[in-house]
Amino acid sequence: MKNQRVLTGITTSGTPHLGNYVGSVRPSVRFSRQPGVQSFYFLADYHALIKVGEPARVQRSTLEIAATWLACGLDPERVTFYRQSDIPEIPELSWLLTCVTGKGVLNRAHAYKASVDKNNAAGMDPDAGVTAGLFMYPVLMAADILMFNAHRVPVGRDQIQHIEMARDIASSFNHLYGEHFTLPEAETEEHVALLPGLDGRKMSKSYDNTIPLFVPREQLRKLIMGIVTDSRAPGEPKSTEGSALFQLYQAFASAEETAALAKAFADGIAWGDAKQTLFERLDQEITPMRELYNELMQNPAQIEKTLLAGADKARAIATPFTARLREAVGLRRLDSAVSSVATKQAKASAPAFKQYRESDGQFYFKLVDADGTLLLQSTGFASGKDAAQAIAQLQQQGAQALTALQERLAVQGDSEALASALSHFGAQAA
């Protein structure tokens, strides 16, 4: 599809590892090169504060993740590449969304529920050690996504629920205030969540089994030699199934290379040789990026500049959009027209067009607001299509269309209520 907006963020709470690379960095760089895609990639440093209480670590991780993205080929000219905390509109939107989010929805978020379950199992207060930040995590994430009206959000499988929540939150807001937000879809890479770490479990900082992406070559070799295997001797056939070593290889190698290693497994390759093969394949892909990464890490001022330029691009969208949202919810200046409260209520409840046929065989429509008040009624049209066209004109042009359609309108209600009802449709079309 054309003109798709793709957005993803990485929480700046640690040093990027192979799992982050395969699961997030590499696919996001690939996406960004597709034609017809507008991408937004950012460093989720507000999110980092939820887990990390060490300022130096947040800063260091922000630098490392920015340098990683750039070293892996992200082109900041082509994408909008920014730091979340440079966009003050995001926490502002987060509050607007907080006010339309059911607390019960947040109670069901996996990350929060996991903490509660753990506390319950330990016989502690359910919310022991749980910050309101952890509880609100999905709303901040929804603000990240909805601010740029992203269509697609590439994420790991553990994040799918958050995207669903962003959709729910967007629908609630749209329902109350008009169609401001696109409903986003999660996009997951099938093999991603499966990238194993040194011990065979999912590669994750919480298991302390990661292989950092840009460790020096010798250290990479040592780490790979430490991957757990079974105790089969050289010459004995080895199973690829459930082999962390094999799965890591597969995430980097071509289909032919993978088939060749599978054959070597069947032929009884020694584990030491298999590890050496994996190391060489990884190192081949990583070395050019590692060189660039080390250069970038020497030049934080350059990265800072890149991020600030990205923030300018992002705010060129976020600032006017937030102004529209503030207006939509009623955070308005007092020197512009102040609507009466009654009008505001008419706007919040959804007015609707109804099309019908009378016994005279002609087609009519009327516009009623949610409590059934008649705002507009047409004269008869020869065909249903003509009536529908007039409705479309009213929906698209709003009150402006009233003059053009004057002769086709039998009843016109209170002009202020009518204009307000029609502006509801205008907002939906925008």
Binding site residues, ligand TRP, CB under 6 A: 7-11, 44, 47, 141, 144-145, 153, 155, 159
The nearest distance, CB 139 to ligand TRP, in angstroms, is: 11
| Nearest CB to ligand TRP, comparing residues 153 and 269 | 153
The nearest distance, CB 35 to ligand TRP, in angstroms, is: 22
| Nearest CB to ligand TRP, comparing residues 167 and 347 | 167
The nearest distance, CB 159 to ligand TRP, in angstroms, is: 5
The nearest distance, CB 84 to ligand TRP, in angstroms, is: 7
The nearest distance, CB 232 to ligand TRP, in angstroms, is: 36
Per-residue H/E/C for the chain: CCCEEEEEEEECCCCCEHHHHHHHHHHHHHHHCCCCEEEEEEEEHHHHHHHCCCHHHHHHHHHHHHHHHHHCCCCCCCCEEEEHHHCCHHHHHHHHHHCCCCHHHHHCCHHHHHHHHHHHHCCCCCCCCCCHHHHHHHHHHHHHHHHCCCCEEECCHHHHHHHHHHHHHHHHHHHHHCCCCCCCEEECCCCHHHCECCCCCECCHHHCCCCECCCCHHHHHHHHHCCCCCCCCCCCCCCCCCCHHHHHHHHHCCHHHHHHHHHHHHCCCCHHHHHHHHHHHHHHHHHHHHHHHHHHHCCHHHHHHHHHHHHHHHHHHHHHHHHHHHHHHCCCCCCCCCCCHHHHHHHHCCCEEEEEECCCCCEEEEEECCCCCEEEEECCECCHHHHHHHHHHHHHHCCHHHHHCHHHEEEECCHHHHHHHHHHHHHHHC
| Nearest CB to ligand TRP, comparing residues 193 and 270 | 193
Nearest position to ligand TRP, beta carbon: 9
| Nearest CB to ligand TRP, comparing residues 141 and 346 | 141
The nearest distance, CB 356 to ligand TRP, in angstroms, is: 45
| Nearest CB to ligand TRP, comparing residues 111 and 392 | 111
| Nearest CB to ligand TRP, comparing residues 44 and 97 | 44
